[in-house]
Structures are given as C-alpha cells and as structure tokens.
Structure 1
Amino acid sequence: MKPQALRAPLYGLCASLLLAACAGAPRAVPRPAPAGSPPAPRLAATPAPVTPDLLYPALFRAVQEGEVFSDQKHFVDMTVRGEPAQVEARYLAERGRPGFDLKAFLAQHFDEDPPLQVPVLRQDTGLRAHIDALWPVLTRSFKTVPPHSSALALPQPTVVPGGRFREVYYWDSYFTMLGLAESGRGALARQMLDNFAYQIDTYGHVPNGTRSYYLSRSQPPFFAFMVSDAATREGKDVHGRYLPQLQAEYAYWMRGSEGLAPGSASARVVRLADGSVLNRYWDDRDTPRQEAWVHDIRTAAEVRQTRPAGEVYRDLRAAAESGWDFSSRWFDDPQRLSSIHTTQIVPVDLNSLMYHLERTLAAACAEQPKACTTDYAARARQRQAAIERHLWNPKGYYADYDLRTQAPREQVTAAMLFPLFAGLASPAHAQATAQVAQAQLLAQGGLVTTPVRSGQQWDAPNGWAPLQWVAVDGLRRYQQHALAEKIGRRFLTRVQGVFDAEHKLTEKYDVLATGQGAGGGEYPNQDGFGWTNGVTLRLLDLYPPR
C-alpha cells in the first residue's frame, strides 16, 4: 500500500506561506462546568500568533542559516520589540552597510527568553525533598504574553520541563502531573488539565508545545489519561466535564477517516487493505522545523537526489510529533537520519493511546449519553483487533507497522509496552512481549529505549522516565510484577546515582553499564526535569528503598 500523503486535512489546503497562521485558527468548544463548582477560568479564544518565519522572513533566515546562536530554538523564542514589519524593513535597509553586526541588531530589537535555570538547592536534601523544592521553580504563568511572542497564552499556572524547555509540552506534562498528584499538588495538576482543555477549545488540538511554531502538530495524545487519572483521584463527573474536549481531540486525530478508501492515508489516519483504521504521526507543514532550521536543511540535502525535501521535512516533523525525535525506530538505515520515513510507519504506542482515548470517550458518553452519537466502545474493540492483527510481530512482541511492506517492522523498542499500558494486550501477547523486553531492553539502569546505538537520543544507551513508567505500569497490569520491579528499582538507582554526583535530575539517563551522562540528539542533556521528577516520585512510592 502506498499512502496518499497529499490528502491533507483542512490546514493542508492553505498556501504554504499562510499555513502556520491557518493552523492556529481558533476553535471554540463550550465546556460545561463541574457539578457544584464554578467553571475553570478561560481566556477568550484569539487567533494564534503568526510564526517567526512569517513575521520577519528575511531576518529569520539570516539568523537561523547564519547560526547566530548555537541552539536554533533560542531565536524563535525571542520576542521582537515593536512591529515585526518595521523591524524586518530596518534589517533589510541596514544589512548591506559596512560593519553591520547581526547579533547587535538582534540585541537592539529583541528580548531574550533565557533557559529556565534550576537554582542551587540545598545539597543535604534527599531526592524526594529536592523534587518537592523544584515544583515552585518549574511553575510558570502564561496568562499574558507579549505581542508577537511565539509563546501561547494559558489561563492557569503550569509546570514546564526546565532548561531550554521553558514552555509546556504535551506528553511531558502527563508524567509531570503524576508527580504533582503524588506530592500533594493535585490542585496544580487539575489546573494543568484545564490548560490542556483550553488549548483544545482554542486550537482544536493540543499542540506539541505552547509555541506558535508547534501548532502544526501535536504529540502523543495523553489528554484522556489526564482525564482518567483526575476521575480516579476526584471521584466526580470528571469524564463528563471534559467530554467536549475528548471529542475534539479524537476528531483532530481522526480527521480524514470518513470515506477513506482501503490502502490509502489522509493526514494522521490510515486505512489498511482489510479496512482497519489506524493512526500515524504527521505534521501539517512540510518545511524545516523553525526551532531546528539548519539541522533539517542539512538532513534533506543528504538525499536531495532521491527524495523531495518537503517529504524529508514532513517525516522529521512527524517524528517530533511522536516525541521520539529522533530514533532509529523511524529510519530505514539505523545510522542515517536522512533515511527517516516516519509517515510510512503506523506506531504501536500512538494506536494504544488512541484505544485508551476511545475507551475514555465511551466512559464519558455513559455519563452524558445525549451528547454522543458515536459508539466509541465499538471503535475501541475494532482498533484492539487491528492492533493484535497488524502490530504484532510473529517473533513475539508488539511492533510498528510499515505501510510500504505491509508487515510489522523488526525493531525492538520500548514502545512495545504501550499495549500493556493501555490494557489492550491479550494475556499471551503481554507475556511474550514482557519476555522480549527483559531479554533485549532491560539494562543495568532500567529500560533502554532501543538496543541500537545510532547517536540519536531515543536510542541506546539512553533511558527515559516516561518509558520506564509506561513499562512498569503496563507490566503490573498484567501481573508481571518481578520485571516491573526490576525496571523501576534499576531506574531509581540510576537517578539516585546521578543525583548523588551532580545534585540534579535530568531529561534522560544512560541506563547501560557505563552510567555516563546521557547524550545524543540536537542539544545537551537538560536539568530540571518535569517528567523525571514525576516518574521518580511514583516509583519511590511503589518501590521505596530497602
């Protein structure tokens, strides 16, 4: 099957220069208030800010292609002073003058948004106390943002990851919220949930992160898990309260599915030859990522004789939507980023999350049956059957599906445990997958992301907190307690070791025998760190030190 990638959703109909603005068009959805309490504060729905590459295109290209800053995210997070068109005109007028200094020009016309530095906290605190002290440091307010900033406004306070990530990220936040609830900050976790509902109300989906340049894509859809966890904690009509946003989230991911012919694809939806409907990662734009402009141009240039640049850019962006940016999981050649084909892959983790979204929608519809016309429970059953049929590798583990070969891919990755996490795996498949994970992914410091050493950050030797939690929680669901405890305790030992040596929690960890600092990817390892803090707290409660 060859997916018809050109069959894009509504956003894809916009001319390329207007695409970012079109993707940010507001989409207001009424949200009922919870019983017995006032509605959550909301901002008026307003058009998303125009992205930096459209605000001052010549200046943008000069800064990014000239690599004025070592981190290309730095410039797109700066805020222009005054009117962008006037600054652009001034740049065009001055750039040819003798002695023109581009960096000095930027200092004159832009305000910095520096990385969120974690201050030096008391060196004698334990791990749990250190994390509790970090929450206020990582909490920010975006109720008002400057004009022409790439930042997106939010009605409630929120927790950001830390370091260069000083805005909210979608799937990061779920694991951060786990820790907030664990440390007695359930009210802040609920405020973050309301922020995500607001984003769906405003933009029709949850963007990758709260920046204008992230609006053309989302991230792994954890909103339903956020809602389910809140319902478990609060025991109220939580599902019903967020039903409009759950429906809008589902509509975003399923847009283009109606009338889709077998053997074709449209944006984030694919219909296989047997009629099964599944999802893939996608991005509504096919240009270099603004926060990694030069990186993407160089990657596409490596294969310019064999692949259109726009195709490569879309695959890079789709990998960013997956959260696994980047991993040999998406490559044809494990050692070459330019062999990326994300949009030709049906991911097992994404479809597990979509199954859970359908199940959550079914639960919400049971509370408000008049608000639903779709049988989400039936859709969940159909998806579960499709996952068991197409995303099961006969060698004994869950795997991604390749649309080109029409078969499961061979890679063993930590994504194989998402069907257990979502509760859709058959008992036999869950046991077999656990055995493969133990044999090929269990390392001295926890679960390694893949066994491949590619130099990318979502490959060996790195382990990531969210994947540890998905594995532990999923394995426990299927009574694989011994393996779950091995993973949890080994990861805690690695986190504790780095904390003892450096007094910080980081974005990712080397979980292999070396125990050295994790690396790879487009930027250094970051300090903070939201999802590591959250998962560490949950694991400490499950597996306290002996």
Structure 2
Amino acid sequence: MQICRSILGAALVLVTLAAVPLQAQEAPAAIYGELFQQIQTERIFPDGKTFADAEPRRDPAAIMADYRRTAPDTPVALEDFVLANFKVPGVNDRGLSTLRRHIRNLWPMLVREPDEPTPGGSLLPMTERYVVPGGRFREMYYWDSYFTMLGLAVDGQQQLIEAMLDNFTATIERFGHIPNGMRTYYLGRSQPPFFALMLDLSHDEDPVLAARRLAALRQEHAYWMAGTSCLDATGACARVVRMPDGVLLNRYWDDHPLPRDESYVEDLTTAQEDPSRAATEIYRHLRAGAESGWDYSSRWLADPQRLSTIRTTDIVPVDLNSLMLIMEEEIAGRCAAQDDQACAAAYTEMAGERRAALQRYFWMPEEDRFADWDRVSQAPTPRVSAAMLFPLFAGAATKEQAAAVAQTVTRTLLAPGGLRTTPLHTGEQWDAPNGWAPLQWIAIAGLERSGQEALACEVSRRWLDTVAGTFTETGKMLEKYNVEERTPGGGGEYPTQDGFGWTNGVTSALLERYAGNPACDMQRPAISLLYAR
C-alpha cells in the first residue's frame, strides 16, 4: 500500500509539472528575447547572472508588450523599466517588510549585558541590559537611546526599554545627570535631555518606581538649572543664561575646558588654528558642541567654514529650550498625578515662562522660522537649521507659525532623500548634505502635531526611500545619510558608522506609525521597489 501511494504521488507531481506553461520552463534569454539581449549587452548590471536570476513582477507577455511599446533607448530608461517590472536580486528585492525584519534581527546584536567594573577602564558599568548605537559607539548614549527606544517599543522589546530606563534612573541618582555616554570622559557634559520623553515609553505602573523616576527627572532638571546660583554680570553661568527681561533659559556647556579624551588630537589641532583665542576657550566651545549632539555644525560657528571659530556657549539654542519646556511640563504632570500640588504649580509656572520666552526670543516672523538666540549680539542667529522644528515638536508653536515653518522647511531643508540638517555645505557632519534619523523624527512628529500632515508624510516617504535604498545596496543601517544624493553620509571626525541604533528605531517607528494609513501610504511603489543607483 505504501508503494502504491508513493507511485501515485510521483504521478501527481508529473501531471502538475506538465501543466506548467512551456514558457515558464524556458530560459530567460528565450522568454525575454530582445529585452534580455539589450540588458546584457549594455551591461545594465555588472554581473550577467543578476538579471538571469530576476523574477518578473507580472505576466512576461505583458512585460514584453510594454517593452516594445515604450522602447527604452538609454541605459537609465532601460534600468528604470527593469526595476519596475522585475525583482532583481541584490538590487530591489529587499522590500520594506524585509527591512523591518532586518531591524528586528539587529536588536540582539546591539544589546549588551550588565557590565562588570574594570579598574582603570573608562566604561561606566550599567546594572541592566542596554542597547548601543553600533560601530565605534560601544556604550550606551543619552539622546541616541530615546530614538532607539521608539523602535524597541514597536518591535516588542518593552522589557529592554524598562531596563534602559532603570539604567538612566540609576545614573542620575549616582552622578546627578545623564552623561553624553557611559564613559568617565563624558561626565563633564550631558546631551539633549530626552529622559522625560523616555519615561512616556514605559508601561510599568508601579507607584514606587514612578516616584523614583520623577525624583530622578527633577534631579536632572536641577542639573540643567544649577547655574542659577552663580549668575554674575556676564548673565551666564554653566548651563543657565539670564535673558534681557530676566527670564532664565539654557545653553550647552561642559564642565572641563580641556581637549576631549575621545578626540584629543583633533581638539589640539582645532585650537592651534586660531592663536588669537585661548585654547581653553575653544575647548569649552567644542565640548559644549558635543553636548548639543550636533558635533559639529555651522549653527555654532562664526565662520561656517572654520571649526576654530566655534562659539557654542554664546548661543541659546531653540532645541534645548524646547526640550526643557517638555521636561518642565512632564514634571508638572507627574507631580499632579502624585498629588504634589506645590510641585505641579512650581513647574507649571516655569514652563509658562519658558513657553513665552520661546515666542519672544526665538520666533523670527520676518523669516518664517524659529532660530537660536545669540547672547552676544542680543539677537537671533542667521543660521537656518532643522532645530527650527523643535518648538513644533514641543507644542510651543501656533498653527500659523507651524504653517510658516513648513514653507521655510520646504524651501530650505527638504531634499530628495529627507531633511537636510542645514542648507550649508561645510564638511561638518551636522550640515548639508547630511540628514539624521533623530531630526527626521522630530520634524515629522512636530509637523504632524501642528497640523502639517502633508509635509510630515512627504519627509517620511523621502527618508524611508533613502534608508531602504541604501539598505538594498549595502545591507546596512547607517548613522547618517546624504539626503541630496540618497547615499551614505559623510563629513565630521570619523567614518560613517553602521549599526545603527537610532536609524533602526526611527525607521521601525515610522513604518509602524504610517502602516495602512491611506493619508500617508508608506507602501507606494517608489518605496516598495526601492530605487537602485
């Protein structure tokens, strides 16, 4: 009986194969004839096996009919035709679903287990698991982690989010703040303060833990405002600046006027390029620029083409003060939830003063944008940058201002592959042509929050085109991208890194945010086919 069943099964297979159209059994050269010959002889793909292994996206007869009708007569037109009609291995066969799976598979590679202290080493040991950005960044970083967590939240990694929050809470309790990264040489500075927003990603409702985290958040706020006690005639101390009307705002700073340990020779060289300034002054500005996360950008330079003209601590940044507003409102809300009305009232008042100051000092109606403020010239700076979108992200812009900012962004920062960081090409990595995942997220979320959904969708589509296209070509998720050419980014003090925590996080979060949303279709052909270069 078993033999009979085997014979019957074999017969069915033969019948099935016989039913397959003869054309499907022919080689590609026979099926596609002159199209195949043109692709191979013009070497559209360097390896002749590439197209020979391609899969048609629709009926081959229909493809050939369209080929004869359109008659693509240039290499570019022929390549476009092929990519629209075939899934070509290693070129456009990695769709968005493949990208999402790739990111999920990357998370374990970026996870680190709790650390053991090493005498003489620079690592600040963490007691819980955490995610590193990747590449040369082999420790946990501050603002990177928020954007990484956005992806962890939608990729089913909630326990890892809670573990990282425990690490950050314990770090504040130990050092009074969250350093730039978890190394001893980073302790003199922090980074853009996203801890308040990280807490919103938690699902843990333990009231004891909530109280502990609130205390840590208040401690972080005290760190940023500690300069209040040492303000003098200059109007600034540490991270605090007294504005002309007396309101206290914040700037970036570092406690040590020395070359950075991790970029020691680079800082020595930069200081030597301008002998008219004290080296310690330049080191302080360089370190403050590192605290900003924008290391480095024309935002901080008197001469956009010369890093030695850096003057970060002279500038009151719009992004930092938008994040401080979020922190103060978050503290007020959490204090109210714990029935601490005095605390809630105090931080609500602080937030109100800061919100008004954002309007008074940072809004430039004649240029339809928010700007940084120069405490030396007592005026907004002339530098256009993606930082203008932070007030939208913080809910501090009016509907009219958001509409005006959207027009300015479209005119000055929107590139084929997403948002430029600034319009200036300086060779610094936080300038054109580079775009960065965290700034895309801030822009998209801010535009959407303030009623500019169409531009939010367009930035999302263009950015995902860039990330997915580069992934198709390289198999990598990168730290930064050239959004003008939709290629890997460059510039700065070190090669472009792959990994990469915040790109993974923002990409997963955007795909989740807009999946199935007819108003912002992330599955349109331009993305799902993934342009080849």
> Conserved in 1, the CA contact under 8 Å of 2:134 and 2:498?
yes
Task: Measure how far apart 1:243 and its partner are.
Answer: 1.1
> Conserved in 2, the CA contact under 8 Å of 1:318 and 1:343?
yes
Report the Cα distance in structure 1 between the residues aligned to 2:383 and 2:412, rounded to whole angstroms.
11
What residue identity is the alignment partner of 1:440? T
Aligned to 1:146: 118
Task: Measure how far apart 1:542 and its partner are.
Answer: 2.6
What residue identity is the alignment partner of 1:288? P
> Conserved in 2, the CA contact under 8 Å of 1:227 and 1:239?
no
Structure (1 or 2) with the greater helix fraction: 2
Report the Cα distance in structure 1 between the residues aligned to 2:156 and 2:322, rounded to whole angstroms.
29
Deviations 1:89-138 (A, max 9, x none): xxxxxxxxxxxxxxxxxxxxxxxxxxxxxxxxx98981001000000000
Which of 357, 360, 367 pairs up with 2:327?
357
Task: Measure how far apart 1:450 and its partner are.
Answer: 0.3
Aligned to 1:247: 218
Report the Cα distance in structure 2 between the residues aligned to 1:273 and 1:239, rounded to whole angstroms.
37
> Conserved in 2, the CA contact under 8 Å of 1:170 and 1:219?
yes
The 3-state SS of whatever aligns with 2:488 is coil
Aligned to 1:545: 523
Task: Measure how far apart 1:267 and its partner are.
Answer: 0.2
Which of 123, 128, 135 pairs up with 1:163?
135
Moved more, 359-368 or 257-266: 257-266
With over 3 angstroms needed to count, the CA separation of the structure-2 counterparts of 1:239 and 1:397, relative to structure 1, is farther
Q: Within 5 A, what are the aligned runs for 1:253-264?
A: 253-258=224-229, 260=231, 264=235
Moved more, 363-372 or 373-382: 363-372
So what's the TM-score if we normalise by structure 2? 0.77
Report the Cα distance in structure 2 between the residues aligned to 1:350 and 1:177, rounded to whole angstroms.
20
Report the Cα distance in structure 2 between the residues aligned to 1:261 and 1:474, rounded to whole angstroms.
36
Which of 236, 239, 247 pairs up with 1:268?
239
Deviations 1:502-527 (A, max 9, x none): 00100000000x23321000000001
> Conserved in 2, the CA contact under 8 Å of 1:281 and 1:322?
yes
Report the Cα distance in structure 2 between the residues aligned to 1:380 and 1:206, rounded to whole angstroms.
21
Which of 164, 173, 180 pairs up with 2:145?
173
What residue identity is the alignment partner of 1:254? M
* Greater Cα radius of gyration, structure 1 or 2: 2
Aligned to 1:294: 265
So what's the TM-score if we normalise by structure 1? 0.75
> Conserved in 1, the CA contact under 8 Å of 2:478 and 2:488?
no
Aligned to 1:77: none
Q: Within 5 A, what are the aligned runs for 1:152-231?
A: 152-230=124-202
Task: Measure how far apart 1:260 and its partner are.
Answer: 3.6
Aligned to 2:301: 331
With over 3 angstroms needed to count, the CA separation of the structure-2 counterparts of 1:235 and 1:321, relative to structure 1, is same
Q: Within 5 A, what are the aligned runs for 1:337-352?
A: 337-352=307-322
- Equivalenced residue count is 421
Aligned to 1:133: 105
* Identity %, equivalent residues: 54
> Conserved in 2, the CA contact under 8 Å of 1:393 and 1:409?
no
Report the Cα distance in structure 1 between the residues aligned to 2:327 and 2:210, rounded to whole angstroms.
11
Report the Cα distance in structure 2 between the residues aligned to 1:498 and 1:322, rounded to whole angstroms.
27
Moved more, 536-545 or 331-340: 536-545
Report the Cα distance in structure 2 between the residues aligned to 1:263 and 1:362, rounded to whole angstroms.
31
> Conserved in 2, the CA contact under 8 Å of 1:228 and 1:239?
no
Report the Cα distance in structure 2 between the residues aligned to 1:378 and 1:129, rounded to whole angstroms.
46
Deviations 1:442-462 (A, max 9, x none): 110001100000000000000
Task: Measure how far apart 1:142 and its partner are.
Answer: 3.5
Aligned to 1:489: 461
> Conserved in 2, the CA contact under 8 Å of 1:161 and 1:528?
yes
Task: Measure how far apart 1:261 and its partner are.
Answer: 5.6
Moved more, 257-266 or 318-327: 257-266
With over 3 angstroms needed to count, the CA separation of the structure-2 counterparts of 1:332 and 1:251, relative to structure 1, is same
The 3-state SS of whatever aligns with 1:242 is helix
> Conserved in 1, the CA contact under 8 Å of 2:420 and 2:433?
yes
Report the Cα distance in structure 1 between the residues aligned to 2:100 and 2:486, rounded to whole angstroms.
21
Aligned to 2:349: 378
The answer to whether structure 1 residue 479 and structure 2 residue 460 are counterparts is no
Q: Within 5 A, what are the aligned runs for 1:309-458?
A: 309-370=279-340, 373=343, 375-394=346-365, 395-458=367-430
With over 3 angstroms needed to count, the CA separation of the structure-2 counterparts of 1:197 and 1:234, relative to structure 1, is closer
Report the Cα distance in structure 2 between the residues aligned to 1:437 and 1:281, rounded to whole angstroms.
25
Aligned to 1:12: none
> Conserved in 2, the CA contact under 8 Å of 1:239 and 1:367?
no
Report the Cα distance in structure 2 between the residues aligned to 1:259 and 1:505, rounded to whole angstroms.
44
The 3-state SS of whatever aligns with 2:487 is coil
The answer to whether structure 1 residue 283 and structure 2 residue 261 are counterparts is no
> Conserved in 1, the CA contact under 8 Å of 2:134 and 2:501?
yes
The 3-state SS of whatever aligns with 1:274 is coil
> Conserved in 2, the CA contact under 8 Å of 1:465 and 1:531?
yes
With over 3 angstroms needed to count, the CA separation of the structure-2 counterparts of 1:123 and 1:438, relative to structure 1, is closer
Moved more, 536-545 or 437-446: 536-545
Report the Cα distance in structure 1 between the residues aligned to 2:348 and 2:282, rounded to whole angstroms.
36
The answer to whether structure 1 residue 525 and structure 2 residue 509 are counterparts is no
Deviations 1:67-86 (A, max 9, x none): xxxxxxxxxxxxxxxxxxxx
Report the Cα distance in structure 1 between the residues aligned to 2:120 and 2:468, rounded to whole angstroms.
42
What residue identity is the alignment partner of 2:486? G
Report the Cα distance in structure 1 between the residues aligned to 2:230 and 2:494, rounded to whole angstroms.
42
The 3-state SS of whatever aligns with 2:249 is strand
What residue identity is the alignment partner of 2:494? Y
Task: Measure how far apart 1:372 and its partner are.
Answer: 5.4
> Conserved in 2, the CA contact under 8 Å of 1:393 and 1:410?
no
Report the Cα distance in structure 2 between the residues aligned to 1:262 and 1:401, rounded to whole angstroms.
19
- Computed over aligned residues only, the root mean square deviation of the Cα atoms, in angstroms, reads 1.8
Task: Measure how far apart 1:152 and its partner are.
Answer: 0.5
Task: Measure how far apart 1:411 and its partner are.
Answer: 1.1
The 3-state SS of whatever aligns with 1:278 is strand
The 3-state SS of whatever aligns with 1:189 is helix
What residue identity is the alignment partner of 1:323? G
Report the Cα distance in structure 1 between the residues aligned to 2:243 and 2:140, rounded to whole angstroms.
35
Deviations 1:307-355 (A, max 9, x none): 1100000000000000000001100101000010000000000000000
Report the Cα distance in structure 1 between the residues aligned to 2:339 and 2:278, rounded to whole angstroms.
48
Gaps of 5+ in 2: 1-92, 515-521, 525-533
Report the Cα distance in structure 2 between the residues aligned to 1:541 and 1:240, rounded to whole angstroms.
31
Report the Cα distance in structure 2 between the residues aligned to 1:160 and 1:537, rounded to whole angstroms.
17
The 3-state SS of whatever aligns with 1:257 is helix
